[in-house]
C-alpha cells in the first residue's frame, strides 16, 4: 500500500512538472507572438496609432481619426526616374530593384534619433511622402516647430543618400522636394489592410510645392520660410508662382544650413542589428577602452605643453562662425 501510494505521488509529480513546462512554453510562445504582432502593426501604422489599436479598453468597431494643429508634410519625388524605367521584363525588374534600394535608404534614415519625430506615410511610385509632429513629445512642447526643422534636415539627408546611390549605380537621379506645415486630419482607413493617411490643405500645399518645384531644390511656402529663417536655414526667394487651387504664392528654396547652426549628429545604429553586429560592436568597444587606458598612462608620464592657442582661449576669446541668409528677388 505504501509502495502504491509512493508511486502514485511520483506519477502525479511528474505529470505536474510536464504540465507546468508545457504551460510555460505556451506562455512564452504567446508572448513572442504578441511581440511579433505588435512590431508588425508598428511597421504598418505610426507608434501612437498602433498603441491605440492595441489598448485593451478600445472597442472593436472604434476607428482612429485625429485633428492635428501643427504638422509638417514632405513630398520628395525623383522626376527623371520615369525616363529610367522600362516595361521590358528584365529591365523592369532591375528598375524596381533600384527603386527599392533608394526607398530603403530613405527609410533607414528614420532609424536615427534626430528623425524619430518623422513618420513615413507612403510611397507613390517614385514619390516619398512623410510627416512630422504627429506624435508630439515633451521636447516638442518647448519648441513647437522643432519637428519641422528635423523634416528639412531629413530632406537634405535624402539628397545626400540619393547622391550615394548615383555614385555606385552610375545614374543621375535628382530629388525634388516640397514641404509645408499647418493643420491636418490623420486617420486609419480600411479594415482588411488598414492604412494610416493624412488629409487637408497642408497636404495639398506640400504636394503642390513638390510638383511646381525645381530639381535639386526644396521648395517651401512663405509661412514655412518665416519659421525656418529664424532656425538657421539659408533661404532663397524664388518669387510668385501659380499654384493650382491656391492662386499665386510666394515661395522659397531651402539652400542649406548656416555654418553656425549646423549640429553634429552621429550616425545612430539601427535597432534591428544582427547578433554578429552586436558582438563586433562589443569587441570594438573593448579595443577602444584598451587604447584609452594606454593613452592615459602615457599622458601621466609626459608633462602637458601649453600652446599659445590654449592661452588665447583661456582668456575667453570668442570663436565666431560665419553664416548668413542668401536672399534674392522680391
Residues 173, 229, single domain; the answer is yes
pLDDT for 139 equals: 61
Q: Is residue 245 part of a domain?
A: yes
Split into its structural domains, the chain has a count of 2
CATH code of 195's domain: 3.30.70.1230
Query: Can 176 be counted among the known catalytic residues?
Result: no
Catalytic residue among 176, 208, 234, 238: 208
Complete DSSP assignment for 137-181: -HHHHH-TTHHHHHHHHHHHHHHHHHHHHHHHHT-----EEEEEE
pLDDT for 50 equals: 85
pLDDT for 281 equals: 56
Residues 214, 85, single domain; the answer is yes
Residue segments in the chain with a per-residue pLDDT below the cut of 70:
2, 59-61, 86-89, 138-141, 260-330
Q: Is residue 30 part of a domain?
A: yes
A 10 A CB-CB count for 323 gives: 13
pLDDT for 291 equals: 57
Q: Is residue 290 part of a domain?
A: no
**Whole-number Å distance between alpha carbons of 274 and 35:** 18
Among residues 261, 280, 314, which one ends one of the domains? 261
pLDDT in tens, 65-106: 899 999 999 999 999 888 887 666 677 788 889 999 999 999
Q: Is residue 189 part of a domain?
A: yes
pLDDT for 48 equals: 85
pLDDT in tens, 162-207: 999 999 988 899 999 999 999 999 999 887 788 899 999 999 999 9
Q: Is residue 166 part of a domain?
A: yes
Residue with cell 508511486: 7
Residues 189, 82, single domain; the answer is yes
Ramachandran region, residue 280 (left: φ > 0; alpha: ψ -120 to 50; beta: rest) = alpha
Give the domain range for residue 147. Answer: 63-261
pLDDT for 4 equals: 74
Residues 211, 257, single domain; the answer is yes
In which element (H, E) is residue 198 found? Answer: strand 195-199
Query: Can 139 be counted among the known catalytic residues?
Result: no
Contacts for 268-277 with beta carbons within 8 Å, 24 or more apart?
268/111, 268/112, 268/113, 269/111, 270/108, 270/111, 271/111
pLDDT for 32 equals: 87
Q: Is residue 295 part of a domain?
A: no
Among residues 212, 234, 261, which one ends one of the domains? 261
Catalytic residue among 7, 20, 244, 299: 244
Q: Is residue 316 part of a domain?
A: no
Among residues 232, 261, 290, which one ends one of the domains? 261
**Whole-number Å distance between alpha carbons of 133 and 150:** 10
Amino acid at each position: 500500500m505504501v509502495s502504491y501510494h509512493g508511486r502514485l505521488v511520483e506519477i502525479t509529480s511528474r505529470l505536474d512538472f510536464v504540465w507546468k513546462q508545457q504551460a510555460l512554453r505556451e506562455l512564452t510562445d504567446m508572448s513572442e507572438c504578441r511581440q511579433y504582432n505588435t512590431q508588425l502593426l508598428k511597421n504598418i501604422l505610426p507608434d501612437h496609432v498602433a498603441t491605440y489599436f492595441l489598448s485593451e479598453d478600445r472597442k472593436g468597431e472604434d476607428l482612429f481619426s485625429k485633428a492635428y494643429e501643427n504638422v509638417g508634410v514632405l513630398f520628395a519625388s525623383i522626376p527623371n526616374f520615369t525616363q529610367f524605367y522600362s516595361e521590358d521584363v528584365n529591365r523592369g525588374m532591375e528598375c524596381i530593384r533600384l527603386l527599392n534600394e533608394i526607398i530603403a535608404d530613405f527609410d533607414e534614415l528614420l532609424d536615427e534619433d534626430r528623425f524619430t519625430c518623422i513618420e513615413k506615410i507612403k510611397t507613390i511610385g517614385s514619390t516619398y511622402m512623410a510627416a512630422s509632429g504627429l506624435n508630439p513629445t515633451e521636447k516638442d512642447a518647448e519648441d513647437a516647430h522643432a519637428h519641422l526643422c528635423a523634416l528639412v534636415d531629413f530632406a537634405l539627408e535624402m539628397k545626400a543618400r540619393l547622391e550615394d546611390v548615383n555614385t555606385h549605380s552610375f545614374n543621375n537621379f535628382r530629388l525634388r522636394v516640397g514641404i509645408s506645415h499647418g493643420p491636418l486630419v490623420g486617420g486609419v482607413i480600411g479594415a482588411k489592410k488598414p492604412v494610416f493617411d493624412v488629409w487637408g490643405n497642408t497636404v495639398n500645399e506640400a504636394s503642390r510645392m513638390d510638383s511646381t518645384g525645381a530639381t535639386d531644390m526644396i521648395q517651401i511656402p512663405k509661412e514655412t520660410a518665416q519659421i525656418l529663417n529664424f532656425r538657421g536655414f539659408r533661404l532663397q526667394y524664388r518669387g510668385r508662382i501659380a499654384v493650382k487651387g491656391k492662386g499665386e504664392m510666394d515661395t522659397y528654396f531651402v539652400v542649406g544650413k548656416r555654418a553656425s547652426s549646423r549640429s553634429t549628429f552621429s550616425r545612430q545604429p539601427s535597432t534591428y542589428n544582427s547578433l554578429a553586429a552586436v558582438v563586433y560592436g562589443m569587441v570594438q568597444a573593448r579595443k577602444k577602452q584598451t587604447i584609452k587606458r594606454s593613452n592615459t598612462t602615457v599622458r601621466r608620464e609626459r608633462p602637458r605643453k601649453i600652446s599659445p592657442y590654449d592661452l588665447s582661449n583661456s582668456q575667453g576669446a570668442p570663436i565666431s562662425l560665419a553664416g548668413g541668409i542668401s536672399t534674392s528677388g522680391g
